[in-house]
Amino acid sequence: MTAGRSARHIPRRRFGQNFLVDHGTIAAIVAAIAPQRGDNLVEIGPGLGALTAPLLARLNRLQVIEIDRDLIARLRAQYPADRLVIHAGDVLEFDFAKLGDNLRVAGNLPYNISTPLLFRFAEFAGHIRDVHVMLQREVVERMIATPGDSEFSRLSVMLQYRFDMEKLIDVPAEAFDPAPKVESAVVRLTPLAPLPHPARDEAVFSSVVARAFAQRRKTLRNTLKGVMADREFAQLGINPGARAQELSVADFVRIADAVAVSA
Ligand code: SAM
């Protein structure tokens, strides 16, 4: 369908299109972002512009990344190109580094790609000032879970390694059209600088965490078999009979550093 501004857009499930329609929620998100005129802000998935319009009203210029060609055509027709800079394509392949530094990222994200997208933010954390995103509430709970919580997971460790995170707003399904089957929440991620527990080798850290959580019911002795011996766990003061879920980010960094040194 050619996108006339007046024609109704049929939401595409494959692009996770649940459009925000609740004015109170939209205002609360914009207030949490608190955009300042000269901010270097990029919105992921502007869609029909629920957040784009109020953000742009407070900014000199806004960049957006959108995959849906019909929505891109609408946005092009609606906003001048020097104020709304549209990057057409898949955000999972987008090089955030090309947008420069001190980048502010915002969006009501397509939930079907939220985990890889969060890992992508971690990859570009050095360019980012902050991130404000709407996600499935369950994902936000996992992001901010602490050791010992049932939701504490690989996602918690990998994001907490790099970001300070705060849940800001709970959003009910009725705030969207169409309403998603899940509840949502807005979370803020702020890159930690300097990192409180920097790993010697981040690839080793990432693989240790992935391995430990791959079979979350098993003990570290089992999941890290061949990587760490009981004697080495004892040297670090970590119980090999514990499960991944019980360890802190700092514990994982200590294990990864010991593995990196002995490699
Ligand atoms: N911001 C709008 C709102 O709040 O009403 C739309 C949010 S909707 C949940 C997600 C948006 O992300 C849609 O516009 C969708 O087309 C876009 N999108 C989905 N997958 C994408 C991808 N891989 N790259 C870029 N944009 C994507």
Q: Kindly report the CATH number assigned to the domain that includes residue 234.
A: 1.10.8.100
- pLDDT above 50: residue 4: no
25 and 102 housed in the same domain:
yes
CB 50 less than 6 A from any atom of ligand 1: yes
Atom of ligand 1 at shortest distance to CA of 12?
Answer: 16
28 and 121 housed in the same domain:
yes
26 and 95 housed in the same domain:
yes
| Cβ pair 137, 185 in contact under 8 A | yes
Domain count, the chain: 2
CB 67 less than 6 A from any atom of ligand 1: yes
Q: Read off the amino acid at residue 200.
A: R
CA 46 to centroid of ligand 1, rounded, Å? 6
Q: d(Cα 231, Cα 228) in Å, to the nearest integer?
A: 8
CB 191 less than 6 A from any atom of ligand 1: no
Pairing of strands 103-108, 40-44: parallel
Q: d(Cα 235, Cα 10) in Å, to the nearest integer?
A: 59
Looking at the domain assignment, is residue 106 inside a domain? Answer: yes
Tokens of 94: 């987008």
Of all helices (H) and strands (E), which one includes residue 176?
A: strand 176-177
Tell me the pLDDT band of 1, cut-offs 50, 70 and 90: very low
210 and 118 housed in the same domain:
no
50 and 146 housed in the same domain:
yes
- pLDDT above 70: residue 131: yes
Q: d(Cα 14, Cα 61) in Å, to the nearest integer?
A: 29
131 and 217 housed in the same domain:
no
- pLDDT above 80: residue 19: yes
Q: Read off the amino acid at residue 40.
A: N
Distances (CA, A) of 112 to 18, 53, 92, 102: 11, 24, 12, 27
Q: What is the pTM of this model?
A: 0.96
CA 67 to centroid of ligand 1, rounded, Å? 7
Looking at the domain assignment, is residue 240 inside a domain? Answer: yes
Atom of ligand 1 at shortest distance to CA of 94?
Answer: 24
Mean pLDDT of 19-34: 98
Backbone angles phi, psi at 229, to 5 degrees: -95, 160
- pLDDT above 90: residue 7: no
CA 65 to centroid of ligand 1, rounded, Å? 8
- Could you list the residue range(s) of the whole structural domain that residue 174 is in? 2-191
Question: What mean pLDDT is reported for the chain?
Answer: 96
234 and 126 housed in the same domain:
no
Residues β-bridged to residue 186 = 134, 169
Q: d(Cα 150, Cα 66) in Å, to the nearest integer?
A: 35
Last residue of a domain, one of 130, 161, 191: 191
CA 211 to centroid of ligand 1, rounded, Å? 32
Q: d(Cα 138, Cα 70) in Å, to the nearest integer?
A: 30
146 and 248 housed in the same domain:
no
Mean pLDDT of 168-172: 98
91: three-class secondary structure by DSSP? helix
Tell me the pLDDT band of 2, cut-offs 50, 70 and 90: very low
CA 148 to centroid of ligand 1, rounded, Å? 34
Last residue of a domain, one of 191, 219, 238: 191
Tokens of 69: 């060609």
Q: What is the pLDDT of residues 49-108, one digit of tens each?
A: 999 999 999 999 999 999 999 999 999 999 999 999 999 999 999 999 999 999 999 999
| Cβ pair 122, 190 in contact under 8 A | no
Q: Which CATH number characterizes residue 54's domain?
A: 3.40.50.150
180 and 81 housed in the same domain:
yes
CA 15 to centroid of ligand 1, rounded, Å? 6
Tell me the pLDDT band of 263, cut-offs 50, 70 and 90: confident
Last residue of a domain, one of 159, 191, 223: 191
Q: What is the pLDDT of residue 6?
A: 60
Mean pLDDT of 101-122: 97
CB 147 less than 6 A from any atom of ligand 1: no
Tell me the pLDDT band of 262, cut-offs 50, 70 and 90: confident
What distance separates the 2 farthest-apart alpha carbons in the chain? 69
64 and 180 housed in the same domain:
yes
